[in-house]
Amino acid sequence: MKMITLAGQQVPQLGLGTWGLGENKATADTALAALQAGISAGATVIDTAEMYGDGAAETLVGRLWQTVPRDRVFLISKFYPWHADPTEMRVALLNSLRRLKTDYLDLYLLHWPGDTPLAATVQGLNALKKEGLIRAYGVSNFDVADVQKWLAVPDAPLTANEVLYNVAERGIEFDLLPRHRQRGITTIGYSPFNSGSGDSIPVPDSLKALAAEKGVTVHQLLLAWTMRTDVLSIPKASTVAHMTANLAAADLTLSPTDLARIDQLFPGPTRKMPLHEI
């Protein structure tokens, strides 16, 4: 599996999303088995948030340490914008750590821009980092202007920005992705199938034909496309079968001809596009 740099560490480019996992007790064990399968195969980045199922996803992830060493996993969680001042942030983090059954996060993200002054948010994050409760921090759903405001705050290293990214949502390629690369910010792309939006990606016959030629499913093709460069992709898989399919996509190589065919169906941006989020 291809590796990329995140918070100064080499991590696999395929991560494990958890949005919606753990909310249904009847399927929680199945979802847990899927996460275990992904980790066993080397997909050792897990992305979650206090928002997901009001903590249900974090609680599910916390069950992993019964069978998986905590230090084998690069663990990411996110906090609400209304928890972005130093006091609320610390309470939110301690609640997340309790649900996750761990004493630290590898990466803590502000889930989307809010009203709390960024200087106060950075102050709180630096305090948590100094305390050893988090090892790095970043943001989510920040557009170029938001990133620039963050970087203007003193002593505010920005490790990563997690944003919507798939063949139907390529707007970040115009300006945000180049800015990330320029400043050494890792791009984490969520919803590679756009499934969380309720507006699924259209599948033209020519895309089905390309997948068939390569002996893969359309979903595997779409996932491999998100990982063709340096973006960390975090699809959700709620079953072992789905996880196995995602893992196979991580090993799929798309040729320049393949990519050109996909570009014809889903052209890249030629102007500034609004940053969409789910």
> Which residues carry out catalysis?
52
- The structure tokens listed for 262 are 């996909």
Q: Give the strand pairing for 9-12 and 3-6.
A: antiparallel
3-state helix, strand and coil shares in percent for the chain, rounded to the nearest 5: 45, 15, 40
Residues 270 and 144: their CA atoms lie apart, in Å, by 16
* CA distances, 116 to each of 126, 165, 201 (Å): 16, 26, 35
Answer for the pair 159, 107: CB distance below 8 angstroms, yes or no: yes
Q: Which residue has the tokens 């893992």?
A: 247
